[in-house]
């Protein structure tokens, strides 16, 4: 397949293009959609074939026997991440926002503090607030233009009421792949403050060439407080399938989670299970390696074009396809730079403040699009900020 193909998604009920006008005031007629983390590519043929086989069969009854599905997940985690998963430790949720909500619901009570390292994926805060938990935002520092975790500063802000940390690894936005030393720091921080760690690793497959993601489960001394979350949906662009995995090795935590799943009557949708089983395969892996090279080149082109505009800075991506661009150097107000991007360049992007403390001077651009779209976006941005040249 060619990632260069422009697929017109307008009118297909996709949130990225069909909601851009309502949400960002950018018309899909002459605008570019670069917000939500959803790629403008078709998934690999192995997934299309699996869906086609379902359609050809044509009966969509209840799903039974998920052993192949579990085996595919275990194969992928071992093959791609060096992580041996026990198939009985896997839960299937309706995606990882749902997985996060389930963890907050299961492992904390109303009023408990839940910690985030911000700026971070906005749905975490939404879920925490909606569940009447105390959102504890710990703002990350920057060192050499990339985010770092300052645990002394974090310690000083803890109140003693916190029960859980939701870690985003790799990090969205900002694209950090946390190093082993950083993850060990997270583990020590969690032990010091007696926190359950929910590690959202949805972007773990989307690391840049040369980068190596370390699953949190590889860090010693936290097995009794760790909940892992992974999904095939970002990796293969099947987010509409709403399928994700919560993987819990600790018996006590797993029993509590299982009880909550049962109490809520949760069970997965068969389309998602078929897609994931097909995706986690050698054919899926080959497609992913090509995708990663393509995105890396998109990021190179985007960063070169954006960083050439005085006052703009696109953070170097170690993972994800989400460029995090800082407009602070322009001296413009948030309203002005946002208006230039959405109003003049006509690009729909995610607003920085939605990612929490530390996001105010940023906008997030999705680079998982055909090369021509990235080049067009760079040209639009250079024009919209042309007076700064
Ligand atoms: C860190 C992170 N977690 C979860 C999600 C969404 O997960 P799901 O679609 O499985 O609910 C996203 C989507 O961008 C994300 O970036």
- H runs (alpha helix) in the chain: 15-18, 20-24, 45-57, 67-81, 96-107, 122-130, 151-157, 180-192, 233-236, 251-263, 270-279, 282-307, 334-339, 371-384
CB of 200 closer than 6 A to ligand 1? yes
Handedness of CA 348, 351, 355, 360 (dihedral sign): positive
**323 CA → ligand 1 middle, Å:** 16
- pLDDT value of residue 204: 98
Is residue 45 within 8 Å of residue 278, measured between CB atoms? Answer: no
Residues of the chain with pLDDT under 50: none
Q: What is the pLDDT of residues 369-385, one digit of tens each?
A: 999 999 999 999 999 99
CB of 368 closer than 6 A to ligand 1? no
The C-alpha atoms of residue 162 and residue 124 are separated, in whole angstroms, by 15
Long-range contacts of 253-261 (CB under 8 A, 24+ apart): 253/107, 253/196, 253/224, 253/225, 253/226, 253/227, 254/89, 256/106, 256/107, 257/91, 257/102, 257/103, 257/106, 257/227, 258/91, 260/102, 260/105, 260/106, 261/91, 261/93, 261/102
**354 CA → ligand 1 middle, Å:** 14
**233 CA → ligand 1 middle, Å:** 8
Would strands 350-351 and 226-230 be described as parallel, antiparallel, or unpaired?
unpaired
- Ligand 1, atom 14: nearest CA belongs to which residue? 37
- pLDDT value of residue 382: 97
The C-alpha atoms of residue 114 and residue 104 are separated, in whole angstroms, by 8
What atom of ligand 1 comes closest to residue 38's alpha carbon?
14
CB of 121 closer than 6 A to ligand 1? yes
**196 CA → ligand 1 middle, Å:** 20
- pLDDT value of residue 56: 98
- pLDDT value of residue 300: 98
Q: What is the pLDDT of residues 179-234, one digit of tens each?
A: 999 999 999 999 999 999 999 999 999 999 999 999 999 999 999 999 999 999 99
What atom of ligand 1 comes closest to residue 120's alpha carbon?
1
Which of helix, strand or coil describes residue 347? strand
CB of 342 closer than 6 A to ligand 1? no
355 is written with which tokens? 């990612």
Report phi then psi at 197, rounded to 5. Answer: -100, 125
**386 CA → ligand 1 middle, Å:** 34
DSSP notation for 201-259: -TTTT-BPTT-----GGGSTT-GGGEEEEE-SHHHHT-GGG--EEEE---HHHHHHHHH
- pLDDT value of residue 1: 64
Which of helix, strand or coil describes residue 149? coil
CB of 38 closer than 6 A to ligand 1? no
């Amino acid at each position: 397949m060619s990632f260069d193909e422009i697929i017109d998604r307008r009118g297909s009920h996709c949130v990225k293009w069909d909601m851009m006008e309502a949400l960002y005031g950018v018309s899909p007629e002459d605008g570019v959609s670069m917000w939500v983390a959803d790629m403008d590519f078709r998934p690999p043929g192995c997934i299309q074939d699996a869906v086609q086989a379902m359609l050809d069969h044509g009966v969509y009854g209840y799903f039974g026997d998920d052993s192949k599905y579990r085996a595919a997940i275990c194969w992928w985690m071992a093959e791609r991440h060096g992580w041996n998963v026990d198939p009985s430790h896997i839960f299937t949720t309706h995606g990882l926002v749902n997985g996060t909500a389930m963890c907050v619901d299961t492992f904390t009570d109303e009023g408990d503090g839940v910690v985030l390292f911000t700026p971070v994926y906005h749905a975490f805060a939404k879920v925490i607030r909606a569940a009447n938990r105390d959102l504890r935002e710990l703002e990350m520092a920057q060192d050499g233009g990339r985010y770092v975790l300052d645990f002394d500063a974090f310690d000083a802000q803890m109140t003693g009421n916190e029960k859980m940390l939701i870690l985003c690894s790799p990090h969205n936005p900002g694209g950090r792949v946390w190093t082993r030393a950083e993850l060990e720091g997270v583990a020590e921080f969690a032990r010091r403050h007696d926190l359950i760690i929910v590690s959202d690793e949805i972007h773990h497959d989307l690391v840049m060439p040369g980068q190596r993601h370390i699953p949190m489960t590889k860090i010693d001394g936290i097995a009794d407080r760790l909940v892992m979350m992974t999904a095939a949906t970002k990796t293969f662009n099947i987010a509409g399938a709403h399928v994700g995995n919560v993987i819990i090795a600790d018996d006590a935590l797993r029993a509590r989670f299982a009880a909550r799943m049962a109490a809520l009557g949760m069970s997965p949708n068969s389309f998602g299970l078929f897609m994931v089983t097909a995706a986690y395969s050698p054919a899926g892996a080959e497609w992913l390696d090509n995708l990663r090279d393509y995105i890396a080149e998109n990021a190179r082109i985007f960063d070169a074009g954006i960083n050439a505009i005085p006052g703009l800075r696109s953070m170097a991506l170690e993972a994800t396809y989400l460029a995090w661009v800082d407009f602070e150097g322009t001296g413009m107000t948030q309203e002005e730079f946002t208006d230039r991007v959405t109003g003049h360049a006509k690009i729909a992007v995610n607003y920085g403040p939605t990612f929490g403390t530390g996001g105010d001077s940023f906008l997030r651009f999705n680079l998982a699009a055909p090369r021509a779209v990235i080049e067009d976006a760079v040209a639009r941005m250079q024009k919209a900020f042309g007076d700064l040249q």
